[in-house]
Amino acid sequence: MGLIWLGLAAVALWAMVRLGRQTERARRGHWRISATLLSAALLAGAVFAAARGAWLIAGGMASAGVWLAVQSRIRPVAGRAAKPNEPMSKAEARSILGVAVDADAQTIHAAWRRLMARAHPDQGGTEGLAARVNAARDRLLKG
């Protein structure tokens, strides 16, 4: 019985950590919250089924829970798919950073810092999004 509680505690801890890292807009965040809760319920059900010896049901529930958790974690790339050799236009760079046409270097750096606080992979963003924010800053500062 203690092993069941240990498994359930691990599932609950995983769900709390994952829900604490929500950084998306409202609609995407709601999907991730729902998917996390449902996958946690599936994983908890798998723990109970395995404890009762129903290995086929436990395997199915665990597979469904892991699949749902992984699918809800995949994030679509925002904006157009940038080609590596294609230079970014100034208008696109301003749009990404959210600055005006007459923005000075200080304003561009402030916008870049604000966006990187959310777009950095360590903060829940993606490498691709962080690279686009960096490219936008570089394009506007280099002329």
What CATH number corresponds to the domain at position 113?
A: 1.10.287.110
Tokens of 106: 């200080």
Please tell me the pTM assigned to this model: 0.42
49 part of a folded domain: yes
State residue 63's pLDDT score. Answer: 92
Kindly report the number of other CB atoms within 10 A of residue 139's CB atom.
Answer: 19
pLDDT given at position 13: 73
Q: Which amino acid is at 73?
A: R
Residue 84 placed within a domain: no
Report yes or no on 23 lying in a domain: yes
Q: For the chain, what is the domain count?
A: 2
Tell me the residue type at 114.
R
Is residue 79 assigned to a domain? no
In this structure, the answer to whether residues 11 and 40 fall within a common structural domain is: yes
66, 97: one domain: no
Chunked mean pLDDT (size 10), the chain, 143 residues? 72 68 56 76 86 90 86 61 67 89 90 88 82 90 79
H-assigned helices in the chain? 2-19, 26-51, 55-73, 90-97, 105-119, 127-142
My answer on whether 69 and 94 are in the same domain is: no
The confidence score (pLDDT) of residue 45 equals: 87
Instruction: For residues 112 and 57, state if they share a domain.
Output: no
Query: Are residues 67 and 22 part of one domain?
Result: yes
Please enumerate, as own/partner, the contacts of 130-138 that have beta carbons within 8 Å and a separation of 24 or more: 132/79, 132/82, 132/88, 132/96, 133/96, 133/97, 135/82, 135/88, 135/93, 136/88, 136/92, 136/93, 136/94, 136/96, 136/97, 136/112, 137/93, 137/97, 137/108, 137/109, 137/112
- Structural domain span for residue 8: 2-73
